[in-house]
Amino acid sequence: MPPPRISSRARQRDQRRETFERDGRLDLGDGVSLYRHGKSSYIYADFRIGGERTRESTKTTDVTLAEQIALRRRKDLACRAEAGKPISVQGPSVGDVLEPYVADLVRRFEAGERKLGPEIAVMRRNFLPFWRTVPLADLDRRQFYAWERWRAEQNAEGGTVASYQRGAQTVCVGRKLKSPSLSTLRREKQYFVKALAWGSDQPAPLVSDEVVHELRHLPRPRESKKQRAAGEKRHALSAEQIAALLAEFQRVEEVERARAQKLGERGKRKNYDRRLMALHVRLLLCTGLRPGAEILELTWDRLTQTKNDFGEDIVVIDRCGNGKTGPRIVNADPEAVDVLADLRALLGEFGYASAGQTTLWPSRHGGVVGDMGASFKSTLKRLGFEATLSGEPLYICRHSYMTERLRKGVTSDILAINCGTSNEMISRHYNHLKAEDIRAALRPADARNPLRLNVDKKPISEGAKLMLDPTGQLVVTR
């Protein structure tokens, strides 16, 4: 049997790794080299740019990942050199404030505050690479605007390969990049100001309250009402798209059943993650729960089955979430009964419990499933949904739930209580539905008579005409 073919890129990567392991140093070109530090297990990078030199830790022990970090860091230092700033920071930097703050977030995350995960990821990915070498003396609103420009450049439209640590292994995955929205920048700014406020409250504060106040209240260009409405409008799946999505989930289950009937035990216990994602989405669509901690932290002992005033079996979640309005009781649609029955069958097939304080979404690797968004997006793309929808996260299920209920006539105050939000939020994000209803109601039933509204469904006879009789009276002739 011939040996497996190895690409030239993989061969070069292996050669660089062997060189580094043999010599303890690797030249990457452009004044960048990697070397082993005698007092640290991490790989260090040596930068020589414009007659200056600085050395920094890559915070990793993997050569491939350290190479990517060093080359990315070299671009940032080159930009500083072109702007006439020193590449080596004198005195404390903004990173000296952010790094202990991130360490504190990680400690709280490991202690059980799982909702801090997104903030930790944003701080590591979007803040530390830029602010690590910015002196605290340069921290002002102009520097923050420079970070916003850097943030937009780093996430321009396109694709990239990102590396991250999974235990002792380095995993490379493809990522689709897109420019951050205004709401994303606002949320990340809140994270940043929160970190600076934490630094100013320490026994030996490095950041003054004046700087925190300046960045918290940055002057922004005023938006027009049209721009603000466009940014606040929420996308939702149409009834046809939801039907297509559910049909795809049904098709997957039929394939699994057919395999089990054909192969017996050998055909069972396949495609757990995809099937669990389908049930996850179905439950979101019939409950309006928030993706993330609100639904992932559900346990079976919080679910009870009862009947509504119409005699239908429904599921009641008590208590649910700890969001903007605190814990609440959620009344799910009758479809949730079938979803939970299918979920129990799936968990039983894979040997998981479905009672007591066990989670609804156990992971094959232990604990709770972390994220199902990537699988959900791939399903939307496979169904051919437009890019504006196929790129939406799981939150679109909540928007679809609320949009459908509002169109069916559910009042905003009832919906706000069940979904754990406020009337103001519903009015702000779903006000376009009222405009659509008004347009439908004002649509003329007859183009020849625009003042006749779309109330009477009886068509006007084509032969009817209005004429004046000899006495001057208005009569209808046919």
Structure tokens at 147: 């970070």
**DSSP letter, residue 203:** S
In a domain, 255, yes or no: yes
Give residue 161's region: left, alpha or beta (phi > 0; psi -120 to 50).
Answer: beta
| pLDDT tens-digit map of 242-280 | 999 999 999 999 999 898 888 888 888 888 989 999 999
Domain harbouring 337, CATH code: 1.10.443.10
Q: Do 79 and 103 reside in the same domain of the chain?
A: no
pLDDT of residue 250: 93
Domain harbouring 25, CATH code: 3.30.160
287 or 220, which is more confident? 287
Give bridge partners of residue 93 from the DSSP assignment.
135
In a domain, 456, yes or no: no
Structure tokens at 452: 């006749």
| pLDDT tens-digit map of 330-348 | 999 999 999 999 999 999 9
pLDDT of residue 359: 92
Q: Do 308 and 176 reside in the same domain of the chain?
A: no
- Token pair 């003042």: residue: 451
| pLDDT tens-digit map of 80-97 | 788 776 677 666 888 889
Give residue 170's region: left, alpha or beta (phi > 0; psi -120 to 50).
Answer: beta
Residue 464 has pLDDT above 80, yes or no: no
Q: Do 368 and 317 reside in the same domain of the chain?
A: yes
| pLDDT tens-digit map of 401-413 | 988 888 888 888 8
| pLDDT tens-digit map of 164-191 | 666 667 777 666 667 788 778 888 999 9
pLDDT of residue 410: 85
- Residue 441's pLDDT band, with cuts at 50, 70 and 90, is low
- Token pair 């079996």: residue: 313
Q: Do 80 and 111 reside in the same domain of the chain?
A: no
Strand 326-331 to 313-323 pairing: antiparallel
d(CA 189, CA 148): 9
pLDDT of residue 336: 92
Residue 303 has pLDDT above 90, yes or no: yes
Identity of residue 335: E
pLDDT of residue 76: 77
pLDDT of residue 453: 44
Q: Give the end of a domain, one of 220, 253, 274.
A: 220
Q: Do 259 and 385 reside in the same domain of the chain?
A: yes
In a domain, 458, yes or no: no
Q: Do 291 and 387 reside in the same domain of the chain?
A: yes
User: Average pLDDT for residues 135-160, to the nearest whole number?
Assistant: 80
Nearest to 195 by CA among 180, 216, 178, 218: 216
Q: Do 76 and 99 reside in the same domain of the chain?
A: no
pLDDT above 90 covers a percentage of the chain that reads 20
Range of the domain at 182: 89-220
Q: Give the end of a domain, one of 88, 108, 126.
A: 88
Domain count, the chain: 3
In a domain, 452, yes or no: no
Q: Do 275 and 176 reside in the same domain of the chain?
A: no
Continuous segment of H or E residues that includes residue 423: helix 423-429
d(CA 58, CA 73): 9
154, 72 contact by CB (below 8 A): no
d(CA 324, CA 122): 21
Continuous segment of H or E residues that includes residue 228: helix 225-232
In a domain, 465, yes or no: no
Q: Give the end of a domain, one of 73, 88, 103.
A: 88
45, 58 contact by CB (below 8 A): yes
Residue 47 has pLDDT above 80, yes or no: yes
Q: Do 94 and 214 reside in the same domain of the chain?
A: yes
pLDDT of residue 320: 83
| pLDDT tens-digit map of 60-77 | 888 888 888 888 888 878
Structure tokens at 161: 């390969």
- Helix orientation angle between 395-407 and 431-442, rounded to the nearest 10 degrees: 40
Strand 303-307 to 32-36 pairing: unpaired
* CB burial of residue 445 (10 Å; 0-12, 13-18, 19+): middle
Average pLDDT, the chain: 80
Close Cβ partners of 477 (under 8 Å, ≥ 6 residues apart):
464, 465, 466, 467
User: Average pLDDT for residues 419-446, to the nearest whole number?
Assistant: 68
CA distances from 129 to 74, 117, 134, 250, 441 (A): 11, 18, 10, 44, 54
* Phi, psi torsion values for 306, nearest 5 degrees: -145, -175
In a domain, 451, yes or no: no
User: Average pLDDT for residues 315-339, to the nearest whole number?
Assistant: 85
Residue 194 has pLDDT above 90, yes or no: yes
In a domain, 453, yes or no: no
Strand, helix or coil for residue 34:
strand
pLDDT of residue 341: 93
- Residue 223's pLDDT band, with cuts at 50, 70 and 90, is low
Q: Do 304 and 431 reside in the same domain of the chain?
A: yes
In a domain, 397, yes or no: yes
Q: Do 270 and 379 reside in the same domain of the chain?
A: yes
Q: Do 107 and 42 reside in the same domain of the chain?
A: no
User: Average pLDDT for residues 14-28, to the nearest whole number?
Assistant: 87
Give bridge partners of residue 303 from the DSSP assignment.
317
